[in-house]
Structure 1
Amino acid sequence: MGANGCAPKSIDTDQDKAIKNAIEIVFPSTRHRWCLWHIMKKLHEKLRGYEEYEKMKFILKNIVYESITPTEFEERWSIFLEKFHVSSNEWLNGLYVERQRWMPTFVKDIFWTGMSTTQHSESMHAFLDGYINSKTTLKQCVEQYENALRDKVEKEKHADFSSLNTQIPSITHYAIAKQFQTVYTNVKFREFQQEVTVHLNEVNCNDRLFESKGILCRHAIAVLICHGFFCPGKVYLEELEKRCKKMSY
C-alpha cells in the first residue's frame, strides 16, 4: 500500500500477466507502467528473424524515444508497420494494444519521482552496488539490503540538512531562478539549472517534464522569463521542497 494506507498512484513493473491482473483487481485506480528497459531488451529476440532487423531496430527506437505526442507516435508506428510489412507481428500488435502502459509519450502525464522507464533495473543495480555480488548468500543479501537502505537514509538526511542550510549559487540573474532556489532542494535546483542552460495560472509543454519529473522544462522556463512572470504555486511539488521532511523509515 502507499502512504497512510492509500493505494499508490503509480506502479512500475515488467510485463508479467499475473502482476498486471493483480494490480487491476487490488489497485484499480493505480496507474500501471511497464518497464521500457525490459521491452526494448526483447527487440533482438522478437525481431531478429527479419532481413532488415538492424534498420527496423534503429527506426523503432527512434519512434519510441523521439515521439513527443501520442498523435506523432500513432502516425510513425503505422508507417513503420507498413514499411517493413510487420502488421501481422503478434508481439508488436500486443505492444500497440498496451501502448499506454509503456510508450513514453503516453506515461509522461503521471509523476514518477524522476524514474524513467529505462531506469527500473539500472537504479536497483546502482542501489545495491558494493553491497552484494554473485557470491552473496541469501542471508547475507537480506542483511546487506538493510545496510544499503540504512546508508541511503543517512545520505538523504545529510542532503536534507544541506538543502536547509546552504544554497547553490544561481547561474542566472532571472527572478524565476531565485524563486526556485529558495523553494527547491539543492538536488532539484541543480536539475532546474540544467533546464535553464501561460494562461489561467497554468504552465504546459508537450514534453511533460513537470508532470513526470516534477521540474519545469527549459521551454516553459524560457516563456516565463520572456514575459517576466513568476511561477504559479502549483508548479512546486511538496516532496521536492526544502521544507518537506522525509518520511521516517
Structure 2
Amino acid sequence: MKKAPEKVGRAIAQDIDFLKKLCSCVWHLEIEPVEFEEKWNKVISKFHLNDHEWLAYMYNIRDMWIPAYFRYLFLGGIMRTTSRSESENNFFTMFTNPHLTLIEFYMRHTQNKIDNDSKNKRPECKTPIPLEKDASELFTTTIFYEFQYELEIGCFNCGVEEMKKDNELYIFNLREGTRRRTFDVVFDPTTFDTKCFCKKLERDEGNALEECINAVDKKMLLNDLWSEIHACVSLVQNNEDDLSDLVKKLRAMRVNVPNDVHVPNEVHVPNSDKRMKSDREKSIEQSQKKKRLCKACGELGYHDSRNCPRKVK
C-alpha cells in the first residue's frame, strides 16, 4: 500500500480522505471478503479509478494479500512482519544511526533513561510526610534523591533538645545524630520563614531564590530595552534624517559604556524560545546526519559539490 500514492498520482494522493478510506477497507481485520469488495468498489468509483491498471491488478490478486481472505487461518502474526520491522527501525533511528560512536550512544541512553524515569516513574517515599510525596512529583529523580536524603536525616537523625518562644518567634535547639554540637532553628509563624544557624543551605547552594529573582528581573529589563529600541526604530524608519540621528545617539551611548563590560561575540535574540547550542551539541547533531557522496571530490562526507572544501574557487 506504500506504492498507492505514487501509482494513483499526486492529485489523488494528496486527498487524505482517499488514503483513509482505502486503508480502512484493506487492513480491516473484522470484515468478510464480500464486505471488502463492496468497500473497495465504493472507493474506486468515488475517486473515478475504475480504469486504473495497477489498482485493477491488485484487486485481481486480492485473495493473496488482503487480510479479509485469511481470517480463518492461523498465521502467527506473519501478515504484519514487514510493518513490525519498519516500526522498530523507525523507533531505533530516533536514538541511533550507523555513524554514532559508542560514547555518544551511551550518553544518549543514560540521558533518555533519566528523562523517562523522571516523567513516568515515581520514586519510593521513605516517610509518610506529604512534603516528600509532593517533592517526588515536582523534582527530577536525581534532585529528589538529594532532597529525600536531607529529609530522612531531619526526620530520623535529628532530635529537639529544647524549644522556647522569643516574642513571636519559635526557637528550636536541634541535635543531629551523635554530634555534640547543636544548632538553633528559628521559625516565624507570621511569615512561615524558617532559618537554621547551621547555614548549610547558604554554604552549599547559596541564596538560590535571590539569584532566581535577579535573573528574572534582568531578563525583564532586557526585554523592556529591546522593546524600546524596536519602538524607536519603527517610529523613525520612514524618515532618513531621524533614522540617522538615532544611529548617532546609539553610537554615542556605546562610547560611554565602561570598558570592563563584556560584549559577547554571539548575541542571543530576545523573546526567542531557542537557546544557543554548544560546540558539543553541534558535533553530535552533525554525526547523526547521513554522509553523502560528493561528486566533486568523490568522498563520503557532510558536504556536496556546491560547498566542497576541495573545490577550486
Q: TM-score when scaled to structure 1?
A: 0.32
Greater relative CO (CA pairs within 8 A, separation 6+): 1
Q: Which structure has more helix as a fraction of its residues?
A: 1
Q: TM-score when scaled to structure 2?
A: 0.26
Whichever of the two has the greater Rg, that structure is 2
